[in-house]
A and B are shown apart, each in its own frame.
Chain A
């Protein structure tokens, strides 16, 4: 009796594999063709998983905090010594920066960068999961369209650009970091208003840099110039600090310069981000 039953449900593994691969190819085609219509489906799965991730994340944060407490006294003392040295250093730097601040205020007026991004309306969110494949730098935070998040909103942390919202669910959204291999941001040097293209590049990631391309040969840029998001970008709000430029060189084509950019955000240890809820206005909405 048992054997009979077993024979009845047995399927050849090969056929099962073929049929499911066919199903997957079909799904691939459908999701490629009708990506908008599948979004609610993805969202519903996200809604199921996100609360669980949120919960685990709370536990994880708690554990890491406890672990940090156990960090040896010696390490802390050493850190304290270093920090004191740093304070002295920073004090001297601070006085220089105050002077720079005045200069900056003047320059802002000159270039009319417009509203500083601290004026933008923002929502705080915390990171609940990261992309698990080593190739891409995207992560999920615990705010979704219920909180007013929309696709293409800019995300900052501290005082620098983190990335952009690429997908929104009910209570979560996915953010693609600017260090991602596929990321592309149009940037501008604050001092000279020369534009450049900022591309994420996994090969530079370990050194903490991002690739900058397409700087005009005539641009008078120097090391450590600030790079902000430019006016011509269609998704990024203008004037958000991205980072500082390094290693400027003429690229292989001899038509433009390329360089490294040191982002101001520490992407290794992102926990909380701010999502700017103001979207960059599109051309068509302006022409009304």
Chain B
């Protein structure tokens, strides 16, 4: 229960960071995808169910705030949460390379799916251009942001674990 509330707050926090703080630190016209970092981290810590649910609520928030139609971001994020949940079985608190790799790959997949749903259907076929202009910079910037934020999310996760452990005893 506590975890639900905390993750919910984390979602709001990430969205605010992404929409209002990072635009001040824009690089190559892109903003890192903090929500994606959160979803991948949560899925990595707690497994597929947690990943799917976090993706669902984070996506819904995006849909409500910037989307035209509800549900599309939720689907994208849920898929990402679901597949990253597989990695929860090999979760290791000392390993930082794997989550960063997961985040980079997820952002790449997300960028591609986003391109297909939003840009390709809008009749623009130049994927090479979009790849260089938006997708690749976003992958790089998100991965860099993840170096810091993953550590933060992991800290919160470990803190919660300690609380839960104490509660069960």
Contacts and interface: CB of A to CB of B under 8 A. Distances in A.
A252 to B, nearest CB: 16
B31 A132 contact: yes
B137 A134 contact: yes
Contacts of A45: 61, 64-65
Nearest to B43: A13
A72 to B, nearest CB: 19
A24 B53 CA distance: 12
Interface in B59-73: 59, 61, 63-66, 68-72
Contacts of A30: 70
B45 interface: no
B65 A16 contact: no
A84 interface: no
Given A13-B48, A45-B64, A32 B74 contact: no
B78 A20 contact: yes
Contacts of B19: 53, 129-130, 132
A139 to B, nearest CB: 9
Given A31-B69, A133-B66, A135-B118, A20 B52 contact: yes
A42 B52 CA distance: 22
A28 B67 CA distance: 11
Nearest to B35: A132
Given A16-B49, A135-B118, A28 B21 contact: no
A60 B24 contact: yes
B20 A128 contact: yes
Contacts of B56: 20, 24
Interface string A1-45: 010000000010100110011011111101110010010011001
B122 to A, nearest CB: 7
Contacts of B85: 13
Q: In this complex, which of A23, A32, A63, A135 has the most chain B Cβ atoms within 10 angstroms of its Cβ?
A: A135
Nearest to B56: A20
A131 interface: yes
A32 B69 CA distance: 6
B15 A49 contact: yes
A146 interface: no
A203 B119 CA distance: 13
B67 to A, nearest CB: 9
Contacts of A42: 64
B87 interface: no
B78 A129 contact: no
Given A17-B82, A25-B71, A60 B52 contact: no
Contacts of A21: 75, 78
Contacts of A219: none
A64 interface: yes
Q: In this complex, which of B24, B33, B79, B126 has the most chain A Cβ atoms within 10 angstroms of its Cβ?
A: B24
A131 B71 CA distance: 17
Contacts of A128: 20
27 contacts: A13-B47, A16-B48, A16-B49, A17-B52, A17-B79, A21-B78, A25-B71, A26-B71, A27-B71, A27-B74, A35-B69, A38-B70, A45-B61, A46-B65, A52-B16, A53-B19, A53-B20, A56-B20, A56-B21, A129-B23, A130-B31, A132-B31, A132-B66, A133-B66, A181-B124, A182-B122, A203-B126
Task: State the 7 A-B residue pairs at the shortest beta-carbon distance, nearest first.
Answer: A13-B48, A24-B71, A134-B134, A27-B71, A28-B71, A45-B64, A31-B70
Interface of A: 2, 11, 13, 16-17, 20-21, 23-28, 30-32, 35, 38, 41-42, 45-46, 49, 52-53, 56-57, 60, 63-64, 128-135, 138, 181-182, 202-203, 205-206
Given A53-B16, A129-B19, 15 more contacts: A17-B82, A20-B53, A20-B74, A28-B69, A30-B70, A31-B69, A31-B70, A38-B70, A45-B64, A49-B61, A53-B19, A60-B24, A135-B114, A135-B134, A181-B124
